[in-house]
Amino acid sequence: MSTSVPAIAVYLVPAIAGAIGLSACFRANVVFALLALPGTVAHELLHWIAGLVSFARPEGLSVIPRRLPDGRYQLGSATFANVRWWNAAIVSLAPLAGYPLACAVAAIRLRNGWAFHPYDLVIWFSLAQLTFASWPSLTDWHLALRSWPMLALGGLLAWWGDWHTLFGAALHPYLQ
């Protein structure tokens, strides 16, 4: 039995509400840093795995919250020895993989139908952490810009795919 996209979306509503609630918390607070710890672990592990796969050579991983001079907390960090123009976007935008992962967890939970069970609360809490932590930080976005040639090529290929899909049949005789 396949799970429909609307069913997955409805199942994720409590998790998304929890992520929004977590993002509304005051970030210069040790309680927030501790509440966000499971999501921080997921975020930094996604960076680390992407660094391993893309040959960025992970050197360190920290999920211990650290108070910054301005009073906010740095929730975690991952360090790499070989971040280059061709792998910077892969490493820095890796936490975005948390969104499809959350959908996959919801699909697995719903594969045989759904009736509320108390462990859904644990799943929703976990998915709230994951969806909250899946958005890359401002530092991550800045690092991704080092891969501008790859991002430009990806954008060009996406544009060409859309253009070719839209106009390819009409221009097919001219493209051969």
pLDDT in tens, 97-141: 999 999 999 999 999 888 899 999 999 999 999 999 999 999 999
Above pLDDT 90, what percent of the chain?
Answer: 61
Mean pLDDT (the chain, rounded): 87
Confidence of residue 53 (pLDDT cuts 50, 70, 90): very high
Q: d(Cα 14, Cα 147) in Å, to the nearest integer?
A: 35
Q: What are phi and psi of 80, to 5 degrees?
A: -135, 150
- Which stretches of the chain are DSSP H helices? 5-23, 30-35, 37-53, 88-92, 98-110, 119-133, 138-144, 148-175
Q: Check residue 169 and give its pLDDT.
A: 54
**149 CB contacts (<8 Å, ≥6 apart)?**
85, 86
Average pLDDT over residues 147-167: 73
Residue among 27, 136, 118 at smallest CA distance from 78: 136
Cα→Cα distances 143→61, 82, 148, 163, Å: 17, 13, 10, 30
Q: Is the pLDDT of residue 78 over 90?
A: yes
Instruction: Return the axis-axis angle of helices 119-133 and 98-110, rounded to nearest 10°.
Output: 160
Average pLDDT over residues 3-18: 91
